[in-house]
Amino acid sequence: MEKFIVTGGVQLNGCVQVSGAKNAALPIMAATLLSHGLTVLHDVPELRDIAMMQNIMKLLGASVVREGHTLVIDTVAVTGTDIPEALMREMRASVFLLGPLLGRFHQVRLSYPGGCAIGPRPINLHIKALEKLGAHIKEGSGYIDAEAKKLVGNEITFDFPSVGATENAMMAAVLAEGTTVIRNAAREPEIVDLQNFFNSMGGRVGGAGTDCIFIRGVKSLHSTEYQIMPDRIEAGTLLIATAMTGGNVIIGNINHACLFSVMDKLQEIGSVIECRGNAIRIKAENLRRGVDIKTLPYPGFPTDLQAPMLSLLTIAKGTSIISETIFENRFKHVDELTRMGAKIKVEGRTAVIRGVDALSGTCVAAPDLRAGGALVLAGLVAAGTTIVDEVYHIDRGYERLEEKLNSLGAIILRK
């Protein structure tokens, strides 16, 4: 099993480009199943989760060819609607196949999805939304069987603005008869990207980015060529890494409008941030002040950046408090950071962090994707050497993270 060997005490400086967004690419890949033609997707990152989605789509009968960061997907020959349990358990995002397969073939069978163990993420909201559109769904023995003679537009109101459920409802509704209205919809930028993708194929979707999405069903979707949005979570991680190391970095291929909540906290901590077109320059000062953070649905502070930010706050002056409101088990990195000398106390969904003068390098293990990224960042500022095991978690969502950090002056060896 691969590991990262991180030499601490570096300062990040230079320029780096952000990859395409994993959280936009995965649902868009699934959505190509609704088309009977060829789809060309640009800026698709090379990640474990993307490769797994490619494997699932190939098993269903699609042709998926990667050319650099471009995927050429042909779904004409797709006939499968039954996804093996082994593949479903590898990746949480496999649940995105429920909506498009139901929308195109009116039936689908899959097991409950896997993914990072960051707390329960029930798919009841997905199921209720699909039932609103006319699907009949049975659950039993770990499987979900869904069928619908036809899907018909309806009004869907979510109890919680779930990103995945919003996207699945959009994918099922785009070919449904009539109009679908999704209320209390998630507002994340990745949902706007999915809307734009559908409209490039002839779909009629509006309102994404607000809490009310309108979808007027069409009879078919045509071939398209589309560019995936930049990864705002990777961008945020690079911003935080620069702030931790006292560096000066320009991050390109970035939509700064997606990162206001993160930039606001980094400025409060003491960093100087300048937006330049599709780039952000961050110059970190030696002063790092503690701050309080509460994770919230977009446009609030993203839960996916809670772990990297917690790493930063371990070396900030004073006391900081992080409240995690999205996932109940997203402090698994705390024990590992404590091994490095951090002072953190967790009570339920709240972490109280008392800043220390320095962290110490040691052996740690990545418990999940974002926690793994946080441990790498901690290693950048720790005295001595930090060994981060189980980096396959990191490879699920960060494209060649060590290479990007090394290009800025970090010393990270994959072994």
Can you give the residue ranges of every domain in the chain?
3-19+230-414, 22-227
Q: What is the rounded CA–CA span in Å between residue 244 and residue 247?
A: 8
Q: Look at the chain and count its residues.
A: 415
In this structure, which topology does domain 3-19+230-414 adopt according to CATH?
UDP-n-acetylglucosamine1-carboxyvinyl-transferase; Chain (3.65.10)
In this predicted structure, what is the pLDDT of residue 92? 66
Checking if the pLDDT of 1 tops 90, the result is no
In this predicted structure, what is the pLDDT of residue 141? 78
The model's pLDDT over 23-78, given as tens digits with 9 standing for 90+, comes to 999 999 999 999 988 999 999 999 999 999 999 999 999 999 999 999 999 999 99
Checking if the pLDDT of 244 tops 90, the result is yes
- Annotated catalytic residues are 116
Checking if the pLDDT of 227 tops 80, the result is yes
What mean pLDDT is predicted for residues 83-98? 76
Q: What is the rounded CA–CA span in Å between residue 12 and residue 247?
A: 5
Checking if the pLDDT of 116 tops 70, the result is no
Checking if the pLDDT of 179 tops 90, the result is yes
pTM of the full structure: 0.95
In this predicted structure, what is the pLDDT of residue 199? 98
Query: Three-state SS string across the chain, please?
Result: CCEEEEECCCCCEEEEECCECHHHHHHHHHHHHHCCCEEEEECCCCCHHHHHHHHHHHHCCCEEEEECCEEEEECCCCCCCECCHHHHCCCHHHHHHHHHHHHHHCEEEEECCCCCCCCCCCCHHHHHHHHHCCCEEEEECCEEEEECCCCECCEEECCCCCHHHHHHHHHHHCCCECEEEEECCCCCHHHHHHHHHHHHCCCCEECECECEEEEECCCCCCCEEEECCECHHHHHHHHHHHHHHCCEEEEECCCHHHHHHHHHHHHHHCCEEEEECCEEEEECCCCCECCEEEECCCCCECHHHHHHHHHHHCCCECEEEEECCCCCCCCCHHHHHHHCCCEEEEECCEEEEECCCCCECCEEECCCHHHHHHHHHHHHHCECEEEEECCHHHHCCCCCHHHHHHCCCCEEEEC
With bands split at pLDDT 50, 70 and 90, how would you rate the model's confidence at 118?
very low
Beta bridge partners of residue 137, listed in sequence order: 146
Q: What is the rounded CA–CA span in Å between residue 133 and residue 154?
A: 6
Checking if the pLDDT of 82 tops 90, the result is no
Tokens of 7: 């030499």
% of the chain residues with pLDDT over 90: 86
With bands split at pLDDT 50, 70 and 90, how would you rate the model's confidence at 86?
confident
Average pLDDT, the chain: 94
CA angle 156, 41, 261 (to 5 degrees): 60
Tell me whether domains 3-19+230-414 and 22-227 share a fold. yes
Contact 283, 323 (CB under 8 A): no
**How far is residue 271 CA from its own chain's centroid?**
25
Checking if the pLDDT of 355 tops 60, the result is yes
If you classify domain 22-227 with CATH, what class do you get?
Answer: alpha beta
With bands split at pLDDT 50, 70 and 90, how would you rate the model's confidence at 95?
confident
What mean pLDDT is predicted for residues 73-94? 81
Sign of the alpha-carbon dihedral angle for 337, 1, 330, 264: positive
